[in-house]
Every structure is written in C-alpha cells, then in structure tokens.
Structure 1
Amino acid sequence: MELPKYHETFIPILETLNKVESLKSRELASKVRDLYYSDLPQELLNQKTTSGANVLLDRILWGKSYLKMARFVSYPKRGVVQITEKGKNILVKGQLSLYELQNDPDFINYRESVNSEKHNDIELGKVKVDNASPQDLIDSGFSSIETEVKTELLEKLKELDPYYFEKVILILLKKMGYGDFIETTKSGDGGIDGIINEDKLGLEKIYTQAKRYNETKVREKDIRNFIGAMSGDTSKGVFITTSTFDDSAVKKAHEAHHSIILIDGAKLVDLMHQYNVGVQVKTVYEIKEIDNDFFEGE
C-alpha cells in the first residue's frame, strides 16, 4: 500500500465538497483523509515531509490547489473552498486525470497568467521521473510551487482596494532600492498615483501609475493621459497593471519622449516574489555534498 499521489485526490476532494456548501481548507483535507484513506497503515498516515508537514494532507491540499487553477473548485472567501458547477459536472463523468486537468483551457489560462520571459521550461508533469536527475525533480518542484504562489498572488492583487494597490506598488519600488515615495492625493491627481525618488536626495523623480484591472487591457489613451500628467520636472514614469497592455499602449510608451516602463501582471508578481513583497519564506531546504577537501588532507 502507498499514499495517493496528489492528482489521485481530485475526485475524492470533489465528492467531499459536493456534500456540503463549503469547507475550510484544513477541514477539507482532514475529511478527505478520513473518508477515503483511513484504511491505510498508520505509519503511512503519519508520514512527514522534510519540513515536518503531513505528507497525505499536503498532497490533498495540492490537489485542491490544482482543482482551483482549473476552476473545478473556488474560494468564496479566505481559507474556504467550495465546488463549482464545473466540478459537479466532472463528478458525473466520475474521473479526472492529471493529463485532462493540465490540458483544460481554464488551467492553461491560469498558469499562463504569470508566465513571463523568466518562465522556467521545467513544469510539473513535464519531467519524466525515470529519466530525470534528482536536480531536475527539485527544479520542477520549486518551479511548480513558485507558479502556484505567483498565480495566487496575482489573484489577490486583483481583489485589492485600488488605493491600497497603489500603495503596494510604491512599497515594492522602495524594496527595489528606490528612495522615499509620496502618495498623491486621491482627488485631482492628474493620473499620477505616486512619486518616488530615484536617488536618496530626491533630485531625480519617477512618477507612477497603477491600474488594478482584472481582464481589461491598458489602452493607448491610458498611456497618453499618464504622459500628459507628468510635470516638467521629470521625464521618467512607471505604469503598472495587474492585467496586460494592448499593442497600441506598448507602441505609445515606446515612442514617447519620456522614458516609460511598462509592468504587466506577470512581471509584477515576478518582482514581488523576488523582493518578498506580499510573500514570505515558508521552508528552507539544505542540500549537502561531499567535502572532498576534507578527505584530501595530509
């Protein structure tokens, strides 16, 4: 006997959620364990990861996360999970493989929402265990966890109050090494959300504009208004959005006499992840190798 793989928990998770209105994540994991896997040997049920988490509960929670990516379940509020109509429909079929989920349009769109130029080619499910080196498997696992964190981070940003989103952007820019920032007043700010100092003395200023959009793309008009709002004491601006820029907006920014940097949702969560804004370190792993110098001493 062995513990189920995370993708083997898809149907048990959906069946459990189908019996109730909603459940908290940890409660869901415990119920799935008790309903479907209680006959496993106790040593398997108690098995821990290297970080001390229960392996089975961890796999169930990962199964829940992937079901969320493909919209088979939803999070109606923080920490709570419920089945969607799409999830109920798949229960009629009675099975859901990892291959089917990874090729589901909603899952593909969800993962691609945080893909950027830095995107790692190693993705979960694409590495063949039999042919992969231990390092390949580690890289694949880290890549999958990073993608999950970034996709969830982007969703949270899209749900923020627009004014707080603007502040998050200024906090990020300060973490990146820029000077103090000034939040502009919320009325009559002329399209400028914040002003940051490029140097410690504030001799060079950078204006910022932050648009918290869900699906709406930033258009040329938005860039034009931003450029128009920049006063004569600066020629530098950063326009940030949780969505994307349409082609005309990108062209307008590139052709402007001002220096305009565009940051879309994928790049934004890359930067937040890199500079630890809105995320925190959960676990640190040590990988050791032989110290050959130790054995080569006189």
Structure 2
Amino acid sequence: MYTHYDLMLPLLLIMQKNNKIYSLHEAYDELIHVLNCTEEQKNATMEDGRNIIFYRLQWAKTYLKKAGLIDYPSKAHFQLTTIGRNLVLQNVDKINISFLSQFESFKSFRNLNRETSTEQEIPLLKQESVDELTPPEIIETQAIELRNQLSNELLELIKNKTPAFFERLVVDLLVAMGYGGSHQDAAKAIGKTNDGGIDGVISEDRLGLDKIYIQAKRWENTVGRPDIQQFKGALADQVAKKGVFITTSTFSKEAKESASKSGIVLIDGDKLTSLMIEFGLGVQVERSFHIYKIDQDRFDEETF
C-alpha cells in the first residue's frame, strides 16, 4: 500500500502539469487514476473505516506544505507555490525525508517534532518504518504492538495458574461483559455443573430469561472436533440453544466448522485476552494520550 511519501511525487507532477487549485477529492481522483490503483487499493480502509489512500494524501499535503512546495489559498484547497512550480522532478525517483530536508522550512518542522515527540522512546519500530508512517499511524502501530505484547503476557500468566483460578477468571469476565446477573449468581453457576461436558450455566441477562452453557478449558493442546462434538451432545441433552467454549489454547479448523453449524461461540486464548483488555479485567491503564485536530467549524466565519 502507498505511504504518504509514495503519493508526494505523483501529486506534485499532477499539479505541475495542470497548474490549478485542487481540493483533496480532486487530487485523490487524479492520483488513483495516475497510479492505476486496483479496486482493492482504492477500497482499503483503516480500522476506523477511513480510506487509507485518502488519509495518507492528507498527510502528503501537510508535509509538502511544511516544505513550502504548496500553500492553501482557501479552505480545503491547495496549490503549488513558486518553489513547487519550479521544482525539477524529472530525475527524482521518490520524495522522502532526505529530499524534503533540502528545504529549510521542513527541516525546522522536523527539528520541532523531534524536540516534542517521543520517537526515541518507541523502540518497537525501526527508524525506516517510522519514516514511512504518518504520526497517528506510528501511535496506532505502537498501540497494536503493545496490546499484542500485553495479550501474550496475560495468556502466559493464565496458563501458569490453576484450573480453579481460570474458572474464577471466566466468571469475572462474563460478569464484566454483562452476563450472569450478579457476580454471586455467576460464581455459583460456573464450575459447579460438571454435567457431561458442561462446566457451568450462566444467565444471559440479569433477569435470567435465557441460559448460556459454558465449557471452560485451560489447555495447551489444540481443541479439536471431538471436543466440540462432546460439548454439542451435552447441549442437546440439556435442550440448550446457546453454548460458549472458552480455552487458553486454539481451535482446529474442523472444530471451528463444527461449532459454526451449531451456533456455539468459540473463545480461544487470543480472543480471551482481547476481551480481558477491552473490559479492563486484569489490566490497568498505564498512561493515555489525546490526539487533537483543528475544529474547522470554529474558524468558519459564517457560524459567528
């Protein structure tokens, strides 16, 4: 996928050729045509649903503005500066940090960022990777990496605990997710049944209108189809409609296929720790950050 640096050279070439004022959408439409983007590239989105190329185009525009190659004549529009129009690009293969650093305004921008950023404090990304990502993407990438590390640590801790601890953990998680009514009721329901492959029964809601049957296994080996079949048989004996199989390991392909046909929800080790992080179970916030952006409406004179 194109980085914001990959977009800078074709964007400048397009603007030099046409020498007009562009909106972001106009520039985007021309870019994806010139780059001959595939449908997959055009439709690729970030986790929050934003179009990747369009998002990175905004950062390409920002960096070119910091280098003094474009300016903003009006809201949401941009054009080449005199420096941008006269820039010789025929022998340029790609615009990167080194290229932009020939312009004093960009060097000042980079130096300011270094003084106020924590780049030196994020060793999980190589410098080359940092340079290829936009600042919010760096934060997002680091957050994902840190979350993955936390998940691995959580799973190892759980595996080293006793089965009884795991059962209590399942209770805490289900209650945190809103199941089981009271914590006391849930604790009574889990780990007490031991009825033909069912480890517990828990209320789906606080009124106890429907029941969920639980299989909770602190295992190392992959859970296979026979384990799911045994659980399905136990559910059938109880005339149960809903079941959840929770394990610290993984499920085989055959196990997943068998479960999907019966409406059994599978929670493996990765999903388990992901839910624990999401609902704040066994983890705590070390620090948090707010990323701000300009509120354009506040600066729209028509609103005053």
TM-score, normalised relative to structure 1: 0.53
- Taking the aligned partners of 1:296 and 1:254, their CA distance within structure 2 comes to 52
Deviation, structure 1 residue 205: 0.3
Q: 3-state DSSP class of the match of 1:179?
A: coil
Question: Which residue of structure 1 lines up, in the alignment, with residue 137 of structure 2?
Answer: 136
Deviation, structure 1 residue 233: 4.7
Deviation, structure 1 residue 289: 2.8
Please list, as runs of the form range in 1=range in 2, the aligned pairs for 1:45-194 lying within 5 A after superposition. 124-125=125-126, 128-180=129-181, 181=186, 182-184=188-190, 188-194=194-200
- Taking the aligned partners of 1:187 and 1:195, their CA distance within structure 2 comes to 7
Question: Which residue of structure 2 lines up, in the alignment, with residue 222 of structure 1?
Answer: 227
Q: 3-state DSSP class of the match of 1:240?
A: strand
- Work out which of the two has the higher radius of gyration on C-alpha atoms and give 1 or 2: 2
C-alpha distance 127-261 of structure 1, shift in aligned 2 (>3 A) = farther
Residues 68-109 of structure 1 deviation map (CA, whole Å, 9 limit, x = unaligned): xxxxxxxxxxxxxxxxxxxxxxxxxxxxxxxxxxxxxxxxxx
Question: Which residue of structure 2 lines up, in the alignment, with residue 201 of structure 1?
Answer: 207
Tell whether the 8 Å contact from 1:184 to 1:192 is kept in structure 2 after alignment: no
- Of all paired residues, the percent bearing the same amino acid is 42
Tell whether the 8 Å contact from 1:236 to 1:260 is kept in structure 2 after alignment: yes
- Taking the aligned partners of 2:253 and 2:297, their CA distance within structure 1 comes to 57
Q: Which amino acid in 1 is paired with 2:147?
A: E
Deviation, structure 1 residue 290: 3.1
Alignment of 1:278 onto 2:282 = yes
Please list, as runs of the form range in 1=range in 2, the aligned pairs for 1:26-45 lying within 5 A after superposition. none
Q: Aligned Cα RMSD in Å?
A: 3.1
Deviation, structure 1 residue 212: 0.7
Question: Which residue of structure 2 lines up, in the alignment, with residue 16 of structure 1?
Answer: none
Question: Which residue of structure 1 lines up, in the alignment, with residue 47 of structure 2?
Answer: none
Tell whether the 8 Å contact from 1:243 to 1:264 is kept in structure 2 after alignment: yes
- Taking the aligned partners of 1:235 and 1:187, their CA distance within structure 2 comes to 17
Tell whether the 8 Å contact from 2:167 to 2:190 is kept in structure 1 after alignment: no
- Taking the aligned partners of 1:198 and 1:187, their CA distance within structure 2 comes to 17
Tell whether the 8 Å contact from 1:157 to 1:165 is kept in structure 2 after alignment: yes
TM-score, normalised relative to structure 2: 0.52
Higher helix proportion (structure 1 or 2): 2
Deviation, structure 1 residue 126: 9.2
Please list, as runs of the form range in 1=range in 2, the aligned pairs for 1:229-248 lying within 5 A after superposition. 229-230=234-235, 231-248=237-254
Tell whether the 8 Å contact from 1:127 to 1:136 is kept in structure 2 after alignment: no
In structure 1, the gaps of 5 or more residues are: 1-48, 67-123
Q: 3-state DSSP class of the match of 2:156?
A: helix
Tell whether the 8 Å contact from 1:245 to 1:264 is kept in structure 2 after alignment: yes
Q: 3-state DSSP class of the match of 2:294?
A: coil
Deviation, structure 1 residue 229: 2.7
Question: Which residue of structure 1 lines up, in the alignment, with residue 255 of structure 2?
Answer: 249
Tell whether the 8 Å contact from 2:158 to 2:166 is kept in structure 1 after alignment: yes
Question: Which residue of structure 2 lines up, in the alignment, with residue 290 of structure 1?
Answer: 294
Alignment of 1:268 onto 2:272 = yes
Tell whether the 8 Å contact from 1:237 to 1:261 is kept in structure 2 after alignment: yes
Deviation, structure 1 residue 150: 0.9
- Taking the aligned partners of 2:126 and 2:277, their CA distance within structure 1 comes to 23
**May I ask how many residue pairs the two structures share in their alignment?**
182
Q: Which amino acid in 2 is paired with 1:237?
A: G
Q: 3-state DSSP class of the match of 1:235?
A: coil
C-alpha distance 50-187 of structure 1, shift in aligned 2 (>3 A) = same
Q: Which amino acid in 2 is paired with 1:273?
A: I
Tell whether the 8 Å contact from 2:192 to 2:200 is kept in structure 1 after alignment: no
